[in-house]
């Protein structure tokens, strides 16, 4: 039961880490220029944004999250 709980927690942390990675790598590069233009930090109508994220980096983030969550739960119990 200990290993099943640790694996379940590892899956949850993998999902959370992957979602956080997607937000940081994809959403923020698109949203920050829009917010800056609304604040008046840039000239209106200027600027551009682009974002690209590959599945490899998402899988790596999920793997790191899974291993971290698994190890943390095993050490905790």
47 with 33: CB under 8 angstroms? yes
pLDDT of residue 71: 94
50-69 pLDDT tens trace: 777 788 989 999 999 999 99
pTM: 0.74
Q: Report how far residue 45's alpha carbon sits from residue 42's, in angstroms, rounded to the nearest whole number.
A: 9
Q: Is the dihedral of CA 17, 15, 33, 40 positive or negative?
A: negative
Each domain of the chain, given as residue ranges in start order, spans 2-36+49-76
State which H helix or E strand residue 9 sits in: helix 2-22
């Amino acid at each position: 039961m200990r290993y099943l709980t640790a694996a379940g927690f590892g899956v949850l942390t993998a999902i959370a880490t992957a979602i956080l990675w997607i937000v940081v790598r994809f959403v923020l590069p698109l949203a920050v220029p829009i917010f800056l233009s609304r604040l008046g930090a840039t000239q209106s109508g200027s600027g551009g944004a682009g974002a690209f994220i590959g599945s490899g980096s998402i899988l790596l983030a999920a793997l790191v999250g899974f291993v971290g969550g698994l190890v943390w739960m095993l050490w905790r119990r």
